[in-house]
A = this chain, B = another copy of it.
Amino acid sequence: MIVDLKETAEFLAEHDNYYILTHQSPDGDTMGSGFGLCYVLRKAGKKANVLCSDDFPKRYGFMYDGYEPQKFPPETIVAVDVADRKLLGSRLNGYADYVDLCIDHHISNEHYAKRLLLYPDASAACEVLFQVISEMGIEFDKRIAECLYTGIATDTGCFKYANTTKLAHTIAAKLMDYDINIELINREMFDIKSRARLKVEQYINSAMEYYLDDKCAMAAVTLDTIKKTGLAQEEFEGIAGMSVQLEGVQVGVIIKEKDEGKFKVSMRSASDIDVSEICAKFGGGGHVKAAGCTLEGSLPDVKLRLLSGIAPAMGIDLWLA
């Protein structure tokens, strides 16, 4: 059942003993909306805990510093920023059929919850939650404001991406009334890197090759390279963006060997070229600006096949080159 702001606020006011579910591999938005809602409910005199299939990442420590889970039998299950029951992960799987309310912004939401508040145009679940809290009439405080700000900032790349809404800025302005330390939060979210991540970035930069009049950048990492260099697998997240950082590059490709001779391809567009169309040719898909596919064979062959798919989109005829 689709619910609106008013129904959501009423539901939250009328119930108690909340388990708030966040998605696995938690990001700033699920963490921010999870803890933001938890503190709001506790402020309203209710019992509430935040649950996740993974440990809460240290970088969001400022959200749960001093947080203690409360002891109570759960009565009301709310999922935040969880588009699909599968994203609940192994520890929270059992709750999938009992979610009373889901607050989300993903157009792809699977409508698994009994009640769904979905704003698909919102930049973040925290942008939706801000409106819920305002509707509930509960006063924000510094910690709640920091949780919501972080969710919006991380999902918009600090107000940089196309998904940034007018409301995202308006909310950020309002949250700044609560003395939040945006410098510290943003430094932690966007600037600080682990040594392992720096190593991966350096490798990708050094491995970048330029094709098709330098309009296509491509970097590959093989199982052999990972073994020899000790690059950390988990530090490759979001690395595809690096493939389109050089000026003039229209399509960027990161190729990562998953199993021997099997390559996961991430493609990014920095132009009008629709990379989901290119990836579809190889049995993959995705969005206009970010897509992917999987190819098998030798690495040189995989590169050649990708380039032969990319070249026509750039109006380049490889046979005449």
Query: Residues of A at under 8 Å CB distance from B?
Result: 157-162, 164-167, 169-170, 172-173, 176-177, 182-183, 186-187, 190-195, 198, 201-202, 205-206, 241, 244-247, 270
Contacts and interface: CB of A to CB of B under 8 A. Distances in A.
Contacts of A193: 245-247
Contacts of A202: 202, 205-206
A192 B217 CA distance: 13
Given A194-B247, A245-B198, A159 B158 contact: yes
A176 B166 contact: yes
A61 to B, nearest CB: 12
18 contacts: A158-B158, A158-B159, A158-B160, A159-B172, A160-B182, A160-B190, A161-B183, A161-B186, A162-B182, A164-B182, A165-B176, A166-B177, A167-B173, A173-B173, A193-B247, A195-B246, A198-B245, A202-B202
Number of identical protomers: 2
Chief secondary structure at chain A's binding surface: helix
Nearest to A205: B202
A95 to B, nearest CB: 33
A192 B162 contact: no
Most chain B CB within a 10 A radius of its CB, from A165, A194, A247? A247
Contacts of A247: 192-195
A241 B54 CA distance: 32
A42 B32 CA distance: 46
A244 B241 CA distance: 22
Given A159-B159, A191-B244, A191-B245, 11 more contacts: A160-B182, A162-B183, A166-B173, A167-B173, A169-B172, A169-B173, A191-B241, A192-B245, A192-B246, A193-B245, A193-B246
A182 B163 CA distance: 10
Contacts of A165: 176
Contacts of A172: 159, 169
A91 to B, nearest CB: 27
A176 B166 CA distance: 6
A194 B241 CA distance: 15
Most chain B CB within a 10 A radius of its CB, from A162, A169, A202? A169
Contacts of A246: 192-195, 198
A268 B162 CA distance: 31
Nearest to A193: B245
A126 B269 CA distance: 31
Nearest to A201: B205
Contacts of A183: 160-162
Contacts of A170: 169-170, 173
Nearest to A181: B162
Nearest to A188: B247
Nearest 4 interchain pairs by C-beta = A162-B183, A169-B173, A160-B186, A169-B172
A187 B91 CA distance: 38
